[in-house]
Amino acid sequence: MKSVAAVHRLRLVSGPEGLSFILLLICSVLKRTTSFNGVPVMGTVHGVLFVLYLVFLVQAYQARRWEPKRGLVLFVLSVLPTGGFFAERMLAKEERGELDAPVPAAAA
């Protein structure tokens, strides 16, 4: 049950982390093109969400005993502007049990 909670926490923070990244990029453009400067606020919000994402990713990785490839994919998604949304969808499928379980090498 602990591993399900770890995946759930990671899923809950992945969407807001992705949105904050996009908003930070928009604020960065606005800072250069207008007098509006929302970068300090959005930078802080995104930074906190990104650190939470990484902490929850490590917890879920350890609790679920994911393969390194899966952890790497979820990390790469966190540094792409829309990757948080794809991570959220992938984690939601895992929570519902819709993802295929990895086949052990001996059974293949």
Q: Considering the domain boundaries, does residue 107 fall inside one?
A: no
46-57 pLDDT per residue, tens: 999 999 999 999
Please state the domain count of the chain.
1
Residue 106 located in a structural domain: no
Asked if residue 104 has pLDDT above 50, the reply is no
Task: Tell me if 88 is assigned to some domain.
Answer: yes
For residue 2, what are its two tokens?
């602990």
- Whether 77 has a pLDDT exceeding 50, the answer reads yes
Residue 60 lies in a domain: yes
Whether 42 maps to a domain, the answer reads yes
**Cβ proximity of 21 and 81 under 8 Å:** yes
Domain membership of residue 86 (yes or no) is yes
Determine the structural domain holding residue 16 and report its residue range: 2-96
